[in-house]
Chain A
Amino acid sequence: AQSVTQLGSHVSVSEGALVLLRCNYSSSVPPYLFWYVQYPNQGLQLLLKYTSAATLVKGINGFEAEFKKSETSFHLTKPSAHMSDAAEYFCAVSLHTGGFKTIFGAGTRLFVKA
Chain B
Amino acid sequence: DTGVSQDPRHKITKRGQNVTFRCDPISEHNRLYWYRQTLGQGPEFLTYFQNEAQLEKSRLLSDRFSAERPKGSFSTLEIQRTEQGDSAMYLCASSPESWFRSGANVLTFGAGSRLTVL
Q: How many residues of A contact B (CB 8 A)?
A: 29
Interface residue ranges of B22-78 to A (CB < 8 Å)? 31, 33, 35, 40-45, 48, 55-56
Question: Please, what's the 1-or-0 string for A39-81, where 1 marks a CB less than 8 Å from any CB in chain B?
Answer: 0011111100111010000000000000000000000000000
A10–B55 Cα distance when bound, in Å, is 35
What residue of chain B has the Cβ atom nearest to residue A108's Cβ?
Answer: B42
A7–B96 Cα distance when bound, in Å, is 31
Range of interface residues on chain B? 20 to 34
**Chain A neighbourhood of B40, CB < 8 A:** 9, 106-107
Contact of A100 among B4, B35, B44, B105 (CB under 8 A): B105
Q: Is the CB of A44 within 8 A of B104?
A: no
User: Does B107 count as interface, using CB distance less than 8 angstroms?
Assistant: yes
What residue of chain B has the Cβ atom nearest to residue A6's Cβ?
Answer: B42
Q: Is the CB of B4 within 8 A of A104?
A: no
A interface majority secondary structure: strand
User: Does B21 count as interface, using CB distance less than 8 angstroms?
Assistant: no
What residue of chain A has the Cβ atom nearest to residue B43's Cβ?
Answer: A104
Interface residue ranges of A74-104 to B (CB < 8 Å)? 90, 92, 94, 96, 99-104
A101–B49 Cα distance when bound, in Å, is 11
**Chain A neighbourhood of B41, CB < 8 A:** 106-107
> Do A46 and B106 contact each other (CB < 8 Å), given the known contacts A41-B111, A103-B45, A104-B43?
yes
What residue of chain B has the Cβ atom nearest to residue A49's Cβ?
Answer: B104
| Contacts beyond the supplied A46-B106, A101-B56, A104-B42: 14 A-B pairs with Cβ under 8 Å | A9-B40, A32-B103, A43-B110, A46-B108, A90-B43, A94-B104, A100-B48, A100-B95, A100-B105, A102-B105, A103-B45, A104-B35, A104-B44, A107-B41
Interface residues, chain A, with chain B CB atoms under 8 Å away: 4, 6, 9, 32, 34, 36, 41-46, 49-51, 53, 90, 92, 94, 96, 99-107
9 residue pairs, one from A and one from B, having the closest CB atoms: A51-B103, A43-B109, A104-B42, A32-B104, A44-B109, A51-B104, A43-B111, A49-B104, A104-B43
